[in-house]
Amino acid sequence: MCWVRQRDLGTEHMALFVNSNLALELPADLDRPSTSSRAKPDPRAELAAQFIPAGARVLDLGASPALRTLLPNGCSYVGAGKKRRAHDIGLNADEFPTEAAMQADVIVMLGVLEHVKDIESLFTHLRFCKRDILLNCYPTDLAKDGERAQGLVNRMSLCDLALLFDRFGFRIESTAPVDESQMLMRLTPAERLSPIASRNVAVISGDDTNDLAARLGRQLINAILPGECRVHHLTPGMLDQAQQNYDLVILGAGSNLFPPLLGAGALEVISRAKSAIGIFGTHGRELIARPAFDRVLDRLDTWFARYEDDVLMFGRGRNNVIHTGDWLIDQFPLARATNDEPLVVNGDLGPEFALDRAISTIQQHRQVYSTVPVALLCALTSADLAAYAEMPAQQPDLSAGQFRSMLIDIFGRTWPQQKFFLVDRDAVMRYKTRVHQNVSKIGARIGAILRNVAVAA
């Protein structure tokens, strides 16, 4: 037996025993609370006890006075100390009870999460211990209008919590409401998270009847979504058919956003969803209504921007904007053209042109001239020479600028319209590799959201 002084995890002068099993115990005279000083009923503790199996070794980082008396038969209890003022709770490297956590079966954190100053450090320790966790939280999604968090160091949405748990290797096993503003969650460590069936996803994008980029984007969306998803594709004219609730709304399918998708109808569908992301670029930027665009970005958890120009013009200063590149290039394999006859792509391909046939036709030609950005992107993966021309703008002195954004992203420079330039294959290969990695990250992010946000809600 040895003595330790409980300074960082409890009352300053209370001595604790450490037994051979590294379980912390109160001295015999303080082992049980007296009848006169019993704690008041705690709904969180009463609910948490329902999640703890009999015989479990419990480490209570919040030291809830009521939890110990409510545990099932055969459980052992370790309290990490009385809960202190919010600004005193650190649970950092030199405060976390690692030895006790390694001996526990369940780690309980009631009234802890929103008071921890360094939540990343806390979950780093919890990930190392690989134990089930019971915690309560106050998601911002459940906050009532005008409600203010009193004395809380941090407060997160359900999406933020889901991403935090997933990043540190935890799955939300089960949840239960404590009251109108807080939830109890049980987390389970898992290296690989099993899919959860029947998740509702809405994809809001343009009409894909004649638009090659929209058709490719829709195909990509379907490919990266987990297999358990029920996907509802919506165009601006179909927003009145949207369901009341979605687990995830995806705005855009990789091509450019246009004004109807910035309206009140799309914003309402996004607002009702449990989570929302955007995968799109911009063009005709002088015509974009900035307030409407900002309202949409405020609702998105993440905007995966198509071009660096998009980030610089509309995402500067935001922490929910990521430059991923034009993910449509992921649909075009690197190839070698064999046909010396120049190909001119003037206008989009109709629905009678199958996607694989369209790609194959473009990639056969060593010289490609295009007024369609996605066709030029396809040509860059195979052609020796390429040229482009912007479609005439509806207003004088305005240009969509999509070709310029694309070329600067890939090659770091642009070329004049209607003049062939030599394609730098190495630059295209580097760009395609980078975008392919980013597409994988988008898929992983979507999977994390759907695995956890839907369960938590």
Share of the chain above pLDDT 90, in %: 41
pLDDT at 109: 92
Distance CA 272, CA 243 (A): 9
Q: Cβ distance 176 to 184 under 8 Å? A: yes
pLDDT at 349: 61
Q: Match domain 199-328+437-456 to its CATH number in 3.40.50.2000, 3.30.559.10, 3.40.50.2300, 3.90.550.10.
A: 3.40.50.2000
Distances (CA, A) of 8 to 60, 81, 105, 129, 202: 15, 8, 23, 20, 48
Tracing tokens 């109108």 back to the chain, one arrives at 180
Residue 177 burial (CB count, 10 A): 11
Q: Cβ distance 71 to 42 under 8 Å? A: no
Beta carbons within 8 Å of 352's beta carbon, 6+ residues apart? none
In this predicted structure, the answer to whether residue 25 has a pLDDT above a threshold of 60 is no
CATH class of the 2-189 domain in this structure: alpha beta
Distance CA 206, CA 65 (A): 57
pLDDT at 264: 86
In this predicted structure, the answer to whether residue 5 has a pLDDT above a threshold of 60 is no
Taking the complete model, does pTM exceed 0.85, yes or no? no
Task: For 251-303, write each residue's pLDDT tens digit.
Answer: 988 888 877 788 888 899 999 998 999 999 887 777 788 888 999 999 999 99
pLDDT at 393: 52
- Confidence category of residue 30, pLDDT binned at 50, 70, 90: very low
Q: Is 299 exposed, middle or buried (0-12, 13-18, 19+ CB in 10 A)?
A: middle
In this predicted structure, the answer to whether residue 23 has a pLDDT above a threshold of 80 is no
- Higher-scoring residue by pLDDT: 156, 427: 427
Q: Tell me which of 264-273, 330-339, 342-351, 353-362 is least confident.
A: 342-351
- Confidence category of residue 454, pLDDT binned at 50, 70, 90: low
pLDDT at 308: 92
In this predicted structure, the answer to whether residue 22 has a pLDDT above a threshold of 90 is no
Task: For 58-85, write each residue's pLDDT tens digit.
Answer: 999 887 778 989 999 999 998 875 544 4
CATH 3.40.50.2000 domain residues, the chain: 199-328+437-456
Task: For 201-242, write each residue's pLDDT tens digit.
Answer: 999 987 766 678 888 888 899 899 988 888 999 888 888 888
- For the chain, what is the mean pLDDT? 81
Name the phi and psi angles at 279, rounded to 5: -130, 95
CATH 3.40.50.150 domain residues, the chain: 2-189
Residue 20 burial (CB count, 10 A): 6
Q: Cβ distance 316 to 431 under 8 Å? A: no
Q: Tell me which of 34-43, 100-109, 152-161, 321-330 is least confident.
A: 34-43
